[in-house]
Amino acid sequence: MRSDQREPAGTGRGARIRQWWTRAKGSSGHERHTLDMIGKSTLAATLSWYVAYDLMAAASPAFAPFSAVLMIQVTVYRSLLQSLRYVGAVCAGVLVQAALGFLAGPDLVTFVLVVIIAMVIGRWRRLGEQGHQVVTAAFFAFSTYVTSSGNPQRLEQLGQIVLLVAIGCAIGVLVNLTLFPPMRYRGAEEGIRNLAHALCDLIGDVYPALREGELGEEHTGQWRARAARTSSITDQARSALDTAVEAKYYNPWRLLPRHRHRDFSGYQQVFEALERVTHQVASMTRALDQWPGDETGADRDSFLCDYADLLEALGEITRQLSQIDERHLTEQAAELCRAAEAAQHKRTGLVENAQRTDLALDDPSRPYGILLAEALRLMEEAQHTCDVLQYSIDRSGKACADGAPSAETA
């Protein structure tokens, strides 16, 4: 590009910012969640500062907004849980310092004892990730203690720390509870889509090579490594689904008609089926990677072609799952059942053709028996997924008849 045609500085960045804002306004994805978290955190911190500084005239008002921001969690349930743990940790730290301070005085030995006891308490598993706040609160309490004059003032200041933290937590939880309380069902869908897409891509690379009889170590080793890497995608999908289920707890939006019957049991079973499919695909790629180099012949080539046909049909199922959307679940379930039926025909053909040949199906040193077993298991999971989605739709229709909208149940 010539210098006189060079894009002005900042133009590309401005376009990316506009795209980010467009996505934030037009969908409930990561960008929208980021804006929600920023807005709620700002509001919670501002309200907490106003209460602590303007209304209470506290000596250390920053404790309140700091606590409020910490309580803006991804789910209402997590906000409530973390607020209880955080207040408990702060109370423990302040009490440790107060007890030792009034008994032994504000000297270096007292500080060492405070640190040791606070760190021991902070390891209590009931406090979870807030355990380190015991030590933090003890440090602030000790600093407040040594800078205050007289025991009455010290008691007042230490009590004020606990009060400010409690106020900040209460405001943070209240804001998260009342202002766009998060419902993470889209995250559950996205996790399933990503896992299904990874399986679709892997299967889509395997079956053309099988059809051509290309079972070199370069191909099979790569398939095996990719199948092993799907475990991280599985963990991400499980985390997204768990967060979606957790988001229902204590969430007032769950009482709305469009959320009332959402229990994610359908998505949970679909995910579990896909998780089992990943294990079976990994087993299949291991069998292919261990294929004997001296295995040749027309029967072998015919078996690989039939197996490729089955994998192509299974790849269509994972492709459809990678596009799952509860708004179109009825149509998708019907298409998925048709794809599963087509795959069943391919599996039947594979088994019947294999039994007509002289292949060593019972020889454990040959991969044919293992591959046939994996084909059976893969088809069982595909059919199970179809049944799960169809059950969700049937239950959705019943809920609609009872007065709940069917399009929102999955």
Q: Give the whole-angstrom CA distance, residue 36 versus residue 42.
A: 10
What's the pLDDT tens digit per position in 275-327?
Answer: 888 888 888 888 888 776 656 677 778 888 999 999 999 999 889 888 887 77
Q: Which fold has domain 185-408?
A: Methane Monooxygenase Hydroxylase; Chain G, domain 1 (1.20.58)
Domain ranges for the chain:
30-178, 185-408
User: What's the pLDDT at 386?
Assistant: 79
Give whole-number Cα distances, 177 to 46, 53, 78, 144, 258, in Å: 17, 24, 11, 33, 18
Please give the Cα distance from 176 to 158 (Å, whole number). 28
**What sign has the CA pseudo-torsion 253, 254, 260, 266?**
positive
Q: CA 15, CA 10: separation in Å to the nearest integer?
A: 9
Distance CA 191, CA 30 (A): 13
The two tokens of residue 267 are: 């998505």
**Residue 133: in which H helix or E strand, if any?**
helix 133-147
| Residue 391, both tokens | 């059950």
Report yes or no: 198 and 235 within 8 Å, Cβ to Cβ: no
Closest to 368 (Cα-Cα) out of 303, 322, 275: 303
Phi and psi at residue 272, in whole multiples of 5°? -60, -40
**C-alpha–C-alpha distance, residues 99 and 198, integer Å:** 57
In terms of DSSP H, where are the helices of 247-321? 257-260, 265-289, 298-321
Residue keyed to tokens 């999908």: 237
How is 165-191 classified by DSSP, letter by letter?
HHHHHHHHHHHHHHSS----HHHHHHH
Q: What SS3 class is residue 247?
A: coil
Query: What is the tens place of the pLDDT at every residue in 30-57?
Result: 566 678 888 889 999 999 999 999 999 9
Dist CA 34 CA 74 (whole Å): 10
Residue the block writes with tokens 């969700």 = 392
Residues of the chain with pLDDT under 50: 1-7, 9, 256-261, 263, 398-410
